């Protein structure tokens, strides 16, 4: 008997058909989506919609004779693995309930999904503004450089659309830190402010959620 064949790209396209009526957005790498060795997807959803995603995934898995299991379950999301019986198809699907750092919600799913858009056919992605914000905050909090593929978008927002970023940055780091440090800062200098940024985000979090 011939071994059943699994076309990775065709299956991935079918996956997006299976979830097209649900409210989601790809967090990154939409331009590298349909490549032969695509092995992971980062998708943001509302936590309340988890049940609907699980149902859609089960339908997709059964229809295509795949295996699936929940690999990890956290407060901030789920990691689900899908693969074919002969292991020619493998997909690690990370469902995020928000964009967060060490348990602190930086951007909610509602905020991100509200501004998401249709990238191509039935594939929804996050806005360029939220892509820039995520990269800026990752650089500030993890002391890392902006990835080269995101530099143009981040520079554009830092130089020309600062006001679009201010509400979320101010909420997470405090208005004083925003005005004194982030505004006017060059992209290459973001990571140098990591120590201050970590202190400020904890202070801001305590002010918002802890009362004495």
Q: Which pair of structure tokens corresponds to residue 130?
A: 């939220």
Q: Which domains does the chain have, with CATH numbers?
A: 1-126 (3.10.450.620), 127-212 (no CATH)
For residues 29-43, average pLDDT: 80
Res. 2: pLDDT tops 70:
no
pLDDT digits (tens, 9 = 90+) for 89-143: 888 999 999 999 998 999 999 999 999 999 987 899 999 999 999 999 999 999 9
Q: Give a three-class secondary structure readout of 38-68.
A: CCEEEEECCHHHHHHHHHHHHHHHHHCCCEE
Residue-level pLDDT at 69:
92
Q: How many CB atoms lie within 10 A of CB 109?
A: 22
Mean pLDDT (the chain, rounded): 88
Residue carrying the six token digits 């004495």:
212
Q: Is 8 helix (H, G, I), strand (E, B) or coil?
A: helix
Distance, in Å, from the CA atom of 200 to the CA atom of 144, rounded to the nearest integer, reads 18
pLDDT of residue 45: 97
Residue bearing the bigger pLDDT, 181 or 45: 45
Ordered DSSP codes for 157-212: HHHH-HHHHHHHHHHHH-HHHIIIIITT--GGGGGGGHHHHHHHHHHHHHHHH---
CA distance 54 to 148: 34
| Range from 145-149, 153-157, 206-210 carrying the lowest mean pLDDT | 206-210
Is residue 5 helix, strand or coil?
coil
In the chain, what percentage of residues exceed pLDDT 90? 60
What pTM did the predictor assign?
0.88
Q: What is the pLDDT of residues 166-208, one digit of tens each?
A: 889 999 999 888 888 877 778 888 999 999 999 999 999 888 7
Residue 116 near residue 127, CB atoms below 8 Å:
yes
For residue 35, pLDDT beyond 80: no
């Amino acid at each position: 008997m011939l071994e059943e064949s699994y076309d990775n790209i065709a299956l991935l396209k079918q996956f997006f058909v299976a979830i097209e009526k649900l409210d989601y957005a790809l967090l990154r790498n939409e331009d590298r989506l349909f490549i032969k060795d695509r092995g992971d997807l980062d998708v943001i959803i509302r936590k309340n919609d988890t049940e609907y995603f699980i149902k859609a995934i089960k339908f997709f898995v059964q229809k295509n004779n795949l295996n699936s299991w929940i690999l990890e379950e956290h407060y901030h999301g789920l990691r689900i693995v899908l693969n074919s019986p002969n292991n020619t198809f493998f997909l690690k699907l990370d469902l995020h309930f928000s964009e967060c750092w060490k348990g602190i919600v930086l951007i909610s799913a509602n905020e991100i999904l509200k501004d998401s858009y249709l990238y191509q056919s039935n594939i929804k992605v996050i806005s360029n503004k939220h892509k820039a914000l995520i990269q800026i905050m990752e650089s500030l909090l993890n002391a890392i450089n902006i990835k080269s593929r995101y530099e143009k978008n981040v520079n554009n927002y830092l130089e020309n659309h600062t006001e679009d970023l201010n509400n979320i940055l101010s909420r997470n780091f405090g208005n004083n830190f925003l005005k004194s440090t982030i505004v006017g800062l060059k992209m290459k200098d973001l990571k140098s402010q990591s120590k201050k940024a970590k202190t400020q985000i904890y202070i801001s979090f305590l002010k918002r959620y802890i009362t004495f």
